[in-house]
Amino acid sequence: MVENTGGIEALLHEDRTFPPSEEFRKQANISDPNVYEEARRDPEAFWAKFAEELDWFKKWDKVLEWNPPFAKWFVGGKLNVSYNCLDRHLKSARKNKAAIIWEGEPGDWAVYTYRDLYREVCKFANGLKSLGVKKGDRVTIYLPMVPELPIAMLACARIGAPHSVVFGGFSAESLRDRINDSQSRVMITADGGYRRGNVVPLKQNADDSVTGETPVEHVVVVRRTGTADDKMMSGRDIWWHDLVADQPLTCEPEHMDSEDMLYMLYTSGTTGKPKGIVHTTGGYLTGTYATTKWVFDLKEDDVYWCTADIGWVTGHSYIVYGPLANGATSVMYEGSPDYPDRDRFWSIVEKYACTILYTAPTAIRTFMRWGEEYPAKHDMSSLRLLGSVGEPINPEAWVWYWQTIGGGRCPVVDTWWQTETGSILITPLPGITTLKPGSATHTFPGVEADVLDEAGNSVGPGGGGYLVLTKPWPAMLRNIYGDPERFKETYWSKYPNIYFAGDGAKIDEEGYYWLLGRVDDVINVAAHRVSTMEVESALVDNPKVAEAACIGRTDEIKGQAIVAFVTIKDNVTASDALIAELKQHVATKIGPICRPDDIYFAAELPKTRSGKIMRRLLRDVAEGRTLGDTTTLADPAVVQSLKEQYGDED
Ligand code: 7RM
């Protein structure tokens, strides 16, 4: 990339490295670096060792059958995911251990031991059966972050009915599309959920999603907010508490084939309707089990908190399946991080003495903006490991997280993966890896990746290109539901028999992976490839900046010009002088070629509900175009105000 012109040495955190402390290394689940070489020599044996730690009704005949792009893992094996997450922990003292610690936004909370969770899952599984749900039937789940959500997922897994969880922030229309695509006959929802002190009207959305022609015959409703007592449609709707009231306390788990579908989860592509990503049973469980154990260094007495919503893959793999398969204590929080105040996360860490925290860079940057006084109010000495996921983490945010949240004592694992990959694939192993802020470091053992150029050649150290996965892995997607052609076209057509991730990456001289954002986020300025990420990182490096997003705008001379949207800190005022200062800051930090051509101040950046900045909309604003699809925005008002400020300048 661009030469660093130096001058602000103290801020060049990219050069800092963080080896594991001796203390951490000594107690880590995995600390022998030979594991990488062993896994490379025989990846199937490596993964099979983890699969053997799970309970199978019948062992597999063959670890892997690979007919690109279709993989089968643990072929012939029979197991049940709910049995592995619940029943097998009841054989030891673990039965009385907290499986889920749940806190609602209003401050109510509940603890479910493994024995409790088992009972509630069995009762609800029997309830689903009483509604006629059978093995293979899809069930749509549209719930807030309440304990009934993982209970419903595990109940589906128990009877072999694939679930399709739809994030509670999605509209009635998005919900309708997903219900129709999956042809679910049963939907599980709630009257409402709490968010920033308000009630999210889930039952209303659910009702609106099944008007007219719909496959849905039964709607099960959790009573959470008391806001839909008069909206139950007789013959169709049934309260969760009524459904489970008289159900037997046990339910035999279905013996599922390793390759039976466990769930589908919709993810938006660059074009067209959302894709239903299909995950199966044996490989997915093995992948999430293994990565949870090694990446988070999970121990029997950990209190593990992943702050994602279960409506996203991160919640599926790292709140529900990975942690519970490990017999861990998993914390679940319903609401917003600033309710009633901006210290809510830290009060939760203190209250439950969380030892592991897994969150997203966008949250970390928000906390940086709010200031250190909020974490400072709480005792967070229980924390021993931090994780990051969802987008590239800029070194400034990484170092802040490490220092201010981790007290300079906790390794930060930056984990790269996707809905499609099912489990973490590029990540440090905290007892082995020397960390570099901003780098997801190395592939998980047994995973093979590369960075290729347009023609499919490895770019080698220092070069930038497309991130690919060259070998199958157990938790990989098996298909797009009902659309194998799109599956082949999206992921397997750019390079034969190689998985195309859609992310840009580079590998540095020491073999570390640096994720550069989606490939459509790379700006080409005068034939230099500039990563939006690197410019954003440079901007956020200025103490006056809270958050930044960059896009490429068409430029007659340079091909593309860099436009930055910047959110400044609360006590800073926007001015022309500040624009000049920030442009210079970027030029100084990463080189004049990266100097933004335009800087726009924004009160907030437009984000999807999973926290990803919608650069496409920023491009539309910067280029004065009519705005494209905004349905996945968390807050449409954000882009409206940006548009009024800067857009449509004819
Ligand atoms: C887990 C999740 C996937 C996309 C992926 C990347 C980006 C995720 C990182 C990251 C850099 C990371 N699933 N991404 N993690 N980029 N570093 N550690 O987020 O399907 O919703 O998104 O997210 O672009 O392709 S996802």
Each residue of 555-593: pLDDT tens digit? 777 778 899 999 999 899 999 999 999 999 998 887 777
pLDDT at 6: 36
Helix (H, G, I), strand (E, B) or coil at 455: coil
- Among 277, 321, 418, 480, which is best to mutate for testing ligand 1, by the most ligand atoms less than 8 A from CB? 418
Torsion-angle region of 527 (φ positive above 0: left; ψ -120 to 50: alpha; else: beta):
left
Maximum distance among all Cα pairs of the chain, rounded to whole angstroms: 73
CA 346 – CA 49 distance, rounded (Å) = 37
User: Which residues contact residue 211 at a Cβ distance below 8 angstroms, ignoring those fewer than 6 apart?
Assistant: none
How far does residue 417's CA lie from ligand 1's centre (Å)? 5
Measured CA to CA, the distance from residue 252 to residue 49 in angstroms comes to 27
The Cα 489–Cα 447 span in angstroms is 22
Strand partners, 139: 163, 186
> What is the Å distance from ligand 1's center to 313 Cα?
10
Cα–Cα distance, 485 to 275 (Å, whole number)? 12
Looking at ligand 1, which residue's alpha carbon is closest to its atom 12? 416
User: What's the pLDDT tens digit per position in 53-73?
Assistant: 999 999 999 999 999 999 999
The string of pLDDT tens digits covering residues 400-431 is 999 999 999 999 999 999 999 999 999 999 99
CB burial readout 632-645, b (16+ within 10 A) else e: bbeeeebbeebbee
Pocket of ligand 1 (CB under 6 A): 267, 312-314, 389-392, 414-419, 440, 501-503, 515, 518, 610
With a cut of 80, say whether residue 235 has pLDDT above it.
yes
Nearest CA to 500 among 487, 482, 514? 487
For every residue of 529-557, DSSP letters joined together read EEEHHHHHHHHHTSTTEEEEEEEEEEETT
Numbered ranges of CATH 3.40.50.12780 in the chain? 6-505
Question: Where does CATH 3.30.300.30 sit in the chain?
Answer: 521-646
Note if the bond before 340 is cis, omega within 30 degrees.
Answer: yes
- Residue 607 clears pLDDT 90, i.e. is over it: no
pLDDT over 50 (residue 435) = yes
Lowest mean pLDDT among 141-155, 326-340, 398-412, 556-570: 556-570
Q: pLDDT band for position 649 (50/70/90)?
A: very low
Find out whether 270 and 296 touch, Cβ atoms under 8 Å. Answer: no
Q: Please, which pLDDT band fits residue 2 given cuts at 50, 70 and 90? A: very low
Give the whole-angstrom CA distance, residue 517 versus residue 552.
13
Q: What is the pLDDT of residue 616?
A: 80
Atom 18, ligand 1: which residue's CA is nearest? 416
CA angle 312, 315, 317 (to 5 degrees): 110
**The CATH number fitting domain 521-646, selected from 3.10.129.10, 3.20.20.140, 3.30.300.30, 1.20.140.10:** 3.30.300.30
Average pLDDT, the chain: 92
Amino acid symbol at 551: I
Residue-level pLDDT at 268? 67
562 contacts 525 by C-beta, under 8 angstroms: yes
Placement of tokens 């098996």 in the chain:
478
Residue 32: partners with Cβ closer than 8 Å, 6 or more residues away: 432
Please say whether the beta carbons of 560 and 553 come within 8 A.
yes
How much of the chain exceeds pLDDT 90, in percent? 77
User: From the alpha carbon of 416, which atom of ligand 1 is closest?
Assistant: 18
Instruction: Please give the radius of gyration of the chain, using alpha carbons only, rounded to the nearest integer.
Output: 24
- With residue 491 as reference, give the H or E element that holds it: helix 484-492
pLDDT at position 462: 84
Asked which of 284-293, 322-331, 618-627 is least confident by mean pLDDT, the reply is: 618-627
Ligand 1, atom 3, residue with closest C-alpha: 418
* CA separation for the pair 162, 614 (Å, rounded): 30
Q: What distance lies between CA 85 and its chain's CA centroid?
A: 20
Task: Determine which of 21-30, 175-184, 389-398, 616-625 has the lowest per-residue pLDDT on average.
Answer: 616-625
For residue 79, pLDDT beyond 50? yes
Question: What residue owns the CA closest to ligand 1's atom 16?
Answer: 391
Read off the amino acid at residue 142: Y
**The domain 6-505: what is its CATH number?**
3.40.50.12780
Phi, psi angle pair for 438, to nearest 5°:
100, -10
Is-above-0.85 flag for pTM?
yes
For residue range 471-493, list pLDDT tens digits in order.
Answer: 999 999 999 999 999 999 999 99
Would you say 323 and 286 are in contact if contact means Cβ atoms under 8 Å apart?
no
- Average pLDDT (535-541) is 89
pLDDT computed for residue 437 by the predictor: 96
Of all protein residues, the one whose alpha carbon is nearest to atom 11 of ligand 1 is: 392
